Structure formats: structure tokens, C-alpha cells
Amino acid sequence: MENSELRHRLLAILAADGVGFSRLMAADERATVAMLDTARAMFSEQISAHGGRLVDTAGDSVLAVFDTAAGAVVAALAVQARLDEQRSEIPPEQCLRFRIGVHLGDVFEKADGTVYGDGVNIAARLQALADADGLAVSQSVQMAVQGHVAAHFENMGAQSVKNISRPVQVFRVRAGNTAAPRRLKSRRVLVAIAAALVVVAVAGVAWQAVVSRTPSSGVAASNFDAATARKTLAVLPFANLGDDKANELLTDGVTDELIGLLSRVRGLRVTGRDSSFYFKGKQVPMAEMARQLGVSYLVGGSVRRDGSRVRISAQLLNAADGAVLWSRSFDREFKDVLVAQGEIALGIAGSLTQSIDDSASFGGRGTTSPEAWQAFLEAKGLPAGQRVAAYERVLALDPNFARAHVALADQVLGLALIGKLSKQVASERMTNYLQEALRIDPRYDHAYGLLGAAAKIADDMQALRRHAQRALDIDPDSSAGHGWTAELKLHAGDMGGALPAFRRAAEPVPLVGWARLNYAMALRHANQPAQALQEAELALALDPNSVRALAEKAHCLLMLGRRDEALRLARERDFTTFLIRYGAPEDQAAMRQRKNLDAHATAWQEFLLGRPDAVVEHLEVDHSGDIQGRARVLFDAEYDPVRRRPSFEAWLARHKLTEAHERAQAWRAANPVPKR
């Protein structure tokens, strides 16, 4: 076998084996083979439904791999539940039962899909330790999924297993009260659901047909599993039934508006726009989308414009069984579309028996002007460089259009981040726009999130803390509110408080790469490289060309002892600082010959050449006005070589970080990188 055929990967491995198969075959071959075929079909169905890939089904065994540990555990529990239902009328002594083991670890994968290595061996040994009809998992799986999957974990202790040099910590897993699939025992319920689905078909709803035709998109499922979700909802991109760009802008605008309106419903968590729009143009089954988004309900529909008339069809569905909970079509003049959107939001909220937030009416942040709304939709479709002027024209048509003020602030932030506007000027302009939006709608949570960004680029920590708290007061699930809180806690050296806040920031936007990446970076700084690598891989699944995610992956691989892989990635992507710091002698020699290295790489180059204070000088230039950058210096192992230098201690003192640094180092000492 050539090494070029092998790919080294971190995967969740599911291994299953029949219990008493030989005995059952001796008693009744035909019945046993029939039960095995049925079981294999169930395994195949659940593995595919939860983002896995079936590798082998030799004899009465099953081997599968998953991109996420959560997908493997949910699939295993679903298989056991389905098998239990299927054999409910068979005498126990005649039943074919399965033990299942799941492990998260390294494997070697061949081009033909077969997998090898300790990860596979450990999964097989875990299977042997499971109860009949049971599931056993390793500690790496338990740590990755506990709290994200509706299941109970019982510690079975460290177990010595064959051909593995170290003991394996094993957990017995039992489904929680929401993990097992619901049984629809009543024929009347089945008929009602079927009738509801017929209503959708008769209405000609294109969106549901599109999303249910084909297999999974292949993106790793969210670790924030839908099994724990209750009043959680995602508005999917509405289907454009027109054939021009104007109708596409209108369709996206309707989706955006509904996300904003439903976000104001008490007791309802609505997935952010970026996560919902990830599925635009993709053909993914409805249940798979709900699983990846971590929601229980989906809203979808279609938009068609014919001259001055607009037809909007919208439906609310239960993601678990596809039942239509609410459905309605609106045929209106374009100028009345804004009213129709409010009626849709009210209908959906009523169907979920939620109360509307009366302190801010649905119309508060939008516009009553069809001309302003049309201009707003057109502005969103323009190249980034033209949007500021376009949104200013929108506000000339309706100065009380709060969303346009927020959109302007967002564009100004973008200009600051790419260096086309000074951070101080951008912060002042953003603050003016956002305060005007909040004058119109005092409970506009997204405005407070962007005020946090304005405070961050101005290095105003007090304002950042105030805006983060206000965003969370309005919406306890605010991604921005939790994200800024996490950064502030990290800046204070409080990793114990920062980690759950980073995780909470990612929950409402499970398919947004930057949220995953921030969580990955926090996990790495918390000396949890295996979990950090999982999050970085998820970020890369969402954006394969993300330089930050690739760099994060390289750092995680290095911490996990996979130096060759880390250096190969760094060479492929030309991560100069990484190669200077951690590369082989030939890498460092090559870097010394390079011209025009960036300031960070140059600082470390000078450090290796005998001028260690160059790194601290670079910190003063690059991170003095950067809350996020300063916070990461407190924890990042990259800076360990200079931590005891007087210049570094002076830098900490200048920025009032001495106590935070002491807390950060105490955390690191108490939570070292796990030995491998």
C-alpha cells in the first residue's frame, strides 16, 4: 500500500456487531438473515440521515464514519430505537440485537473509502463493552457531545482493551427523554399529517419539493444538536419563482424581513440569516437542514412577482415529521407586501402559541414606503463599494427606516476592517447611524451588536461591556452579545467564563464559519486541541478557503503532535510566521531569504536572530488598540518565549493586563494540553 493512497483524518467511528448471531442462524437461518437485512437497512438509513458514511458490513458487523461525534451518537441511538420498535412482537430469545461502539479519533483513509488505525480498533473494542441493544463511547466522544445530544452518560471507568497500549475511559449511553423517535400510533394523526402534506402539494409550494429530493449537502452537522431544541426556528431562503434579478432581490428581502420579524417573538429563538442562507440553492432534505441548524421548526415558501402584483406562499413545518402547522398564500399589490410580511409573522407566532413582543411593533424597524423598500433591496444587490451611497439614498426616501441605518453602519465597519477608513472615524459614524436606529426602535438587538463592534474598534471596553449586556437583555440568545461577553472575559484572563460564552455565541448561527472559528481559537487557547480541531474543520467545511481556519487547523495539528501534517499545511498555504516559529531548519532558512515578510513574521524572525524584544515591540504596534488581539496574547502559547522578559511585563502593565495575565497563566497551568 503506497503512502500516497492514505489520508490522515480525525473522524467519529461507529462499530456495531450482532449479538448471538451464530446461535440464531443455527436455529432459523431464513428468519435470521431477514432480521439482519432489516437491521442493515436501518443502519444505512440512519447513518446517511446523520451525515455519516457506511464503510463495511461484513457478516453481522457494521462500520461507519462521521464528520462529527454528535452525528454518530444520534445515529446509533436512533438505530437502537428503531430496532427496538421493529422487534416489539418477537420473543426476546429470537431477536437479533446489536452492540454499538463510537470513538472519536485518528484514522487512515484509503482512496476507496476504507479506514484503518487505532481509532477503528478502539471503536470495535468499545462495541464489545456495550450492552446488547446498547451504546458505549469513549471519553473523547462524551466530551464532544454531552450537552448537545439528548442522552445520559454513565461512566464505566477506564477499561483495558486488546491491542491498545493505554486504558480507554468508557461511557455507557442511554437516550434521554427526547432522543427516541416519536411513534405516531393514531391512524387519525397519520391521516391528518398526510392531508396537511397534500395541502402543501396542491398549493404548489416549490421550496419543500426542492429541499427533499436529494441527499445531504455533505457539510458536517452542527454540534449544537436539534434533539435539544424546542421553540427554535429557521426561516429558509424562499424560492424565487420569477426569472429575473429583481425578483431574486425581492425574494431574499422577504426572507430577511421574516427573520427580523420572527426574532421579536418572545420565547422563540430564530437562527441567524447567514446560517439560513447557507442552504440557498442547495438541495438538502428538510430534516437534514433542521439538524444542521439545530432547530425544531422551519419556515419556507415562495415569491412570484407579476408586474405590480406579488404572490407570497409561506408555511410553518414541524421538522421532526414534516407536518404543516400553518400555511397561507398572499396575493397583493407590491405596495402591500410589507403588510403581508407582518401577517405571515403573526400567523407563525400564533401557531407556536407564542406572544408577540408588544414593546416593539413589527413595523418599527422597517419602512412603510414601497419606494424605500425597493431601493433597500436594490442596495443589497450592489457591489460593496457602492452600498454606502445606495443606503444613504434609501434614508433620503425614509429617514425612519431603522434597518437602513443599521445596514449603513455595517458597511462602514467593513470599510474600517479593510483599512479604507480609520477605526476612530468609522466608530463615530457607526455610532451615529446606530443611535438613530435605536431612537426609532429601542429594542433593535442587532444594532446593539454592531455598537459593540464600534466600541471594539475604538478600544472602548466600558462601552463594549454595556452594549453586550444590552443585546443580551433584549435577546438572551444574541450571538453578538455572547461573543462580546466572551472577548471581555478572555481579556480579563477568565477562560472558564469565556469558553461557554464563545459556545453560546455560535449556537444561534451554527452554519456561520466565523462563529465556529472563534470557538475553535478559544478551545485551542484553553488547551483543548482535539475539540478545537473539530470546530476548525467545521469552519472549513463552511468556507474551505478561509485562511484563518486553515491557520487554526495547523496550530491544532501541532498541539496534537501531528507536526508533519501541520508543516505540510503551512508550506502549502505559506504561513510564514508558523514556519519561522515551528518549521524545520530548512523552512527557517528559506524564510530568512524571503523579502517583504509581514510585521508579525519579521518580529519572530528577529527573535530567532537574537533580538527577542522585537516581538514585544510588534505587540505594541499591532495589538495595543485591539481588545481581541491583547486577549489572545494572554493565553497563546506562541508568546511563551517572551513572557518573562521585562519588556513584555512592561507591556502588560501599560495595558493594565498584569492581573489578567496571571489568571490566564494559572488557568493554563491547571489545564495543560492532554498527553497523547
Tens digits of residue pLDDT in 474-514 = 888 888 899 999 999 999 999 999 999 999 998 877 777 78
Looking at 431, 448, 473, the residue that finishes a domain is 473
| Secondary structure (3-state) at 553 | helix
Residues 237 and 152 in one domain: no
Question: Does residue 282 lie within any of the structural domains?
Answer: yes
Is it the case that residue 63 has pLDDT exceeding 90?
yes
- What percent of the chain is modeled with pLDDT above 90? 30
Determine the length of the chain: 676
Residues 410 and 393 in one domain: yes
pLDDT of res. 233:
85
Q: Is 160 exposed, middle or buried (0-12, 13-18, 19+ CB in 10 A)?
A: exposed
Question: Does residue 263 lie within any of the structural domains?
Answer: yes
Tens digits of residue pLDDT in 120-153 = 999 999 999 998 889 999 988 887 776 667 788 8
- Between CA 427 and CA 431 the distance in angstroms is 6
Residues 119 and 49 in one domain: yes
Tens digits of residue pLDDT in 549-603 = 999 999 999 999 999 999 999 999 999 999 999 999 999 889 888 888 888 888 8
- Between CA 62 and CA 58 the distance in angstroms is 7
pLDDT of res. 336:
67
Residues 88 and 153 in one domain: yes
Q: Which of 110, 77, 117, 218 is nearest to 538 (CA)?
A: 218
Question: Does residue 110 lie within any of the structural domains?
Answer: yes
- Between CA 184 and CA 192 the distance in angstroms is 11
For the domain that residue 213 is a member of, what is the CATH number?
A: 3.40.50.10070
* Stronger pLDDT, 182 or 404, i.e. the higher one: 404
| Rounded mean pLDDT, 358-369 | 52
**CA distance between the termini of the chain:** 27
Residues 234 and 309 in one domain: yes
C-alpha cell at 170: 468508557
Tens digits of residue pLDDT in 450-460 = 999 999 988 89
Question: Does residue 233 lie within any of the structural domains?
Answer: yes
Question: Does residue 149 lie within any of the structural domains?
Answer: yes
**Residue 455 host element (H or E):** helix 445-457
Looking at 143, 175, 207, the residue that finishes a domain is 175
Domain span holding position 136? 3-175
